[in-house]
Amino acid sequence: MPRKQRQINKEIHQCLNCGTSFNAPDNYCPNCGQLRTDGMISVWDFLKDAFEDVFNFNGRIFLTLKSLLIPGKLTRAFFDGKINSYYKPVRIFFITMIIHFFLLSLTLNDIYDSQNFQQWGRESVTREQSIELLDSVRTNYTWSGQQKQTLDTLEKEIKKRFAGGDSTDFSIFQEPIKISYFDIYSGMNREEMIAAYQLKGINAILAPQIARLMRSPGDALRFAIGNLTWMILALIFALALVMKLLYIRRRKLYVEHLVFLFHNHAFGFLIFSLNYLIAFVVETDVFLGIASLLFMTYCFIAMRRFYHQGFMKTFVKSGILLLSYFLLFSIFVVITMLVSILLY
């Protein structure tokens, strides 16, 4: 039997989903709303349904994005009761955030591509192995003065050609911990490193993790970026408390500040995603400053329109919010990075 595209099948008289009988002109089940179909669909329809189930893209996404470009409009519409006309605040937030971090990972590819770091690590291992071999040759054979000078010259050339330095200083909690590059890049495991360097307490936890991070910085950074999504979500809930205090006399509910921040962050994700696209194509960071200025201007106008306050009050409160944002962001980033290092 050839595969059919999904379409109405008038020969079906009973809903295959719930068993309700179709009336003669009905194309959809009067009970559950399922299409009058025999269930056979094309691959294209199957993939399209799967995509819509995950992202639920429809005409509302374009109306939502269009309204999002106007500061404060989407938030006001939400609390005016126009809920079904637009995407829900959390949904549009997550969609724009996924796009943002996807593009961020592309633009950071040259920075955190582990191949360069691994190459540097391999050179460090080669350097240590070569020097170790030279030391063995010195010990096991008898050399004249001129031959010894030749070996010394060869050792200097090896150190010069390959990665410099014998060890790295982690300096965890102001306590210097020197671990050789050879041990790091040759794959010394946690237990061996703890025993070899007599690591104790927090150093026994962090040092092996940092060494692992140095071996594969690209994977570690991707893991940390994944954790940033939850960090930003927690940051928004914290900022909503700050806004609750800033506008305490306005008697707005906590959820109103929350929705406002979800919408503003969604716009931020869009504008900075555009910056990443431009940087990826033309390899310039010129638009980053423009994107930052646009985002701050957008937030300022949105605050004026949603909270209905004058220029000076909004200016002062936006300044306080900006300082609070940077403070909370720094705290949350440090916590996220520490958690990422521990869990990586």
Cα(99)–Cα(97) distance, integer angstroms: 5
Chain-centroid distance, C-alpha 111: 15
167 strand-pairing partners: 180
Each residue's pLDDT tens digit, 320-341: 999 999 999 889 888 887 777 6
84 neighbors 254 (Cβ within 8 angstroms) = no
Taking the C-alpha atoms of residue 338 and residue 136, their distance in angstroms, rounded to an integer, is 41
Separation between Cα atoms, residue 232 and residue 261, nearest integer Å = 11
Residue 169 DSSP SS3 = strand
Amino acid at 77: A
Supply the pLDDT for residue 4: 40
| DSSP assigned state of 163 | -
Percent of the chain with pLDDT over 90: 24
Top mean pLDDT of 25-29, 38-42, 101-105, 297-301 is at 297-301
What's the residue count for the chain?
344
Distance of alpha carbon 135 from alpha carbon 155, whole angstroms:
9
Quick check: 13 and 36 in contact, CB under 8 A?
no
Other CB atoms within 10 A of residue 122 CB: 14
Contact present, 203 and 175 (Cβ < 8 Å): yes
From CA 151, how far away is CA 157, in angstroms rounded?
Answer: 10
The DSSP 8-state label assigned to residue 20 in this structure reads: P
Ranges of H-type helices in the chain: 43-55, 59-68, 73-79, 89-107, 109-112, 114-140, 145-161, 181-185, 190-197, 201-215, 217-246, 254-282, 286-307, 311-343
Instruction: Taking each helix axis as running N to C, give the angle between helix 145-161 and helix 114-140, from 0 to 180 degrees, rounded to the nearest 10.
Output: 170
Q: What is the pLDDT of the chain when averaged over all its residues?
A: 76
Maximum mean pLDDT: which of 33-47, 163-177, 300-314: 300-314
Q: What are the tokens at 186?
A: 């040759």
Average pLDDT over residues 42-59: 61
Instruction: Supply the DSSP symbol for 69.
Output: T
